[in-house]
């Protein structure tokens, strides 16, 4: 395992994911979905994890909470440490104490994350069911609704999810995730299903809460512009591996990995002079077909025969960490 001399290694580290390799046990084989994934979340930091579908970002976020898919989800190697405690060494009651309370999560589709048959107020109260609290739960709910910008709490608590808009539901989800004052918030594509004006409102709320509460946020998205605006550090995930990781400003000015460079060319951005985009040819390989060697080589414009050999991880002050021969 590499030790990094980058700012990732300072105290104030809340969550450390080290060489996380997760697999799914399928008949006849173990399908490895992530390969030595490592990153660190510091206090009060927003860490952006960029990746497209199939890269393993969602399973990584579940693994952080000790929620490997069943049946068959396996921790092949590596660890997840929350405040220096290994998540996978905890027993069930300790894990319950962790989930929702220390590490909380919000999802892409607020409508599907909530039970359509139960009023919002009751669903918020449900959060407390597995956790002991010694404060006034109803007051806490009202306080949090106010914190996320929802003032009409009587009406909201009495409503069913379908009676509220996407933006309001996402605010409620955020409020719910904060009820137990977590130290880490995992936000998995939190604004993908929302309109751009609502997205701006929700993201500004998340940033404010993060700074006010010194909470760490793992922001997972395929939207690089979103990361550019809101993340302090960026890690890029491709085919189960972290292919690049750096402080956001440095990443944007000089992305090192060919996939990162490809993504930057393929996405349109209103601020760019040139409106043209250059797609990355081909498709993401399937886990069963990763093979050895660099996983991006089939689509890489800079690939050479050398890329059949697994690429080394490079680690520099300015350029950050990246996985490439060149």
Partner 1 sequence: MEVRDVQTWFPVKTGLFGRTSRYIKAVDRVSLQINSGEIVALVGESGCGKSTLGNSIAGLLPIRGGNILFKGNSALKGHHLQREIFQNKVQLIFQDPYSSLNPKHTIYEILSFPLLYHNICTRAEVGEYIAFLLQQVGMSADCINRYPHSFSGGQRQRISIARAIGMKPDLMICDEIVSSLDVSIQAQIVELLLELRNKLGLALLFIAHDLSLVRTLSDRLYVMYLGKIVESGKTAEVLSGPMHPYTRALVQSVPTLDRTRPPVILEGEVPSFSNLPQGCAFQTRCPNRSSQCLQDPETSKVDNREVSCFHPVVSKT
Chain residues in the site for partner 1 (CB under 8 A): 52-53, 165-168, 195-201, 203-204, 222-226, 228-230, 248-249, 252, 262-264, 266-272, 275-281, 283
For the chain, what's the residue count?
326
Does residue 313 sit in helix, strand or coil? strand
Q: Which is nearer to partner 1, 140 or 222 (CB)?
A: 222
| Cβ closest to partner 1, residue 201 vs residue 315 | 201
Smaller CB distance to partner 1: residue 266 or 309?
266
User: Rounded to the nearest whole angstrom, what is the least distance from the CB of residue 84 to partner 1 in the complex?
Assistant: 33
Least CB distance to partner 1 at residue 251 (A):
10
Rounded to a whole number of angstroms, the minimum distance from the CB of residue 272 to partner 1 is: 7
Given the complex with partner 1, which of 169 and 184 has the nearer CB atom? 169
Closer residue to partner 1 (CB): 70 or 271: 271
Structure tokens of 253?
A: 């000015």
- Looking at the Cβ atoms of 158 and 204, the one nearer to partner 1 is 204
Compute the least distance from the CB of residue 125 to partner 1, in Å.
Answer: 26
266-301: string of b/e by CB count within 10 Å (b at 16+)?
eeeeeeeeeeeeeebeeebbebeebeebbbbbebbe
Cis, bond preceding 71 (omega within 30 deg of 0): yes
Provide, rounded to whole angstroms, the least separation between the CB of residue 323 and partner 1.
Answer: 18
Longest dimension (CA), the chain: 65
Residue 268 Cβ vs partner 1, minimum distance, rounded to whole Å: 4
Pick between residue 127 and residue 175 the one whose CB is nearest to partner 1.
175
- What is the spatial distance between Cα 227 and Cα 216, in angstroms, rounded to a whole number? 15
Contact (CB, 8 A) for 63 and 80: yes
Q: What is the 3-state secondary structure (H, E, C) of 134-176?
A: CCCHHHHHHHHHHHCCCCCHHHHHHCCHHHCCHHHHHHHHHHH
Is 118:152 a contact under the CB 8 Å cutoff? no
> Where does residue 132 rank: exposed (0-12), middle (13-18), buried (19+ CB within 10 A)?
exposed
């Amino acid at each position: 395992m590499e030790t990094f001399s980058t700012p990732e290694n300072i105290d104030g580290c809340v969550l450390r994911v080290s060489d996380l390799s997760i697999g799914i046990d399928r008949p006849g084989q173990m399908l490895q979905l992530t390969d030595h994934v490592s990153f660190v979340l510091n206090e009060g930091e927003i860490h952006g994890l960029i990746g497209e579908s199939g890269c393993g970002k969602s399973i990584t976020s579940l693994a952080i909470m000790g929620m490997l898919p069943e049946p068959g989800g396996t921790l092949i190697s590596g660890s997840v440490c929350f405040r220096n405690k290994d998540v996978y060494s905890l027993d069930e009651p300790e894990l319950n104490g962790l989930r929702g309370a220390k590490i909380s999560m919000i999802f892409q589709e607020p409508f599907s994350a909530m039970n359509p048959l139960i009023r919002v107020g009751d669903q918020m109260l449900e959060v407390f069911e597995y956790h002991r609290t010694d404060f006034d739960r109803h007051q806490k709910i009202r306080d949090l609704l106010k914190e996320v910008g929802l003032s009409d709490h009587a009406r909201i608590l009495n409503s069913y999810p379908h009676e509220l808009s996407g933006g309001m539901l996402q605010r409620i989800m955020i409020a719910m995730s904060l009820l137990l004052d977590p130290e880490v918030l995992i936000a998995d594509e939190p604004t993908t299903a929302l309109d751009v004006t609502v997205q701006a409102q929700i993201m500004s709320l998340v940033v404010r809460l993060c700074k006010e509460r010194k909470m760490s946020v793992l922001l997972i998205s395929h939207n690089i512009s979103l990361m550019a605006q809101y993340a302090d550090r960026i890690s890029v995930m491709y085919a189960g591996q972290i292919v690049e990781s750096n402080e956001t400003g440095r990443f944007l000015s000089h992305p090192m990995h060919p996939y990162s460079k490809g993504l930057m060319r393929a996405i349109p951005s209103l601020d760019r002079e040139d409106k043209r985009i250059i797609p990355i040819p081909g498709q993401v390989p399937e886990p069963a077909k990763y093979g050895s060697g660099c996983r991006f080589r089939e689509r890489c414009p800079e690939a050479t025969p050398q890329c059949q050999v697994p690429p080394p991880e490079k680690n520099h002050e300015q350029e950050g960490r990246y996985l490439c021969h060149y």
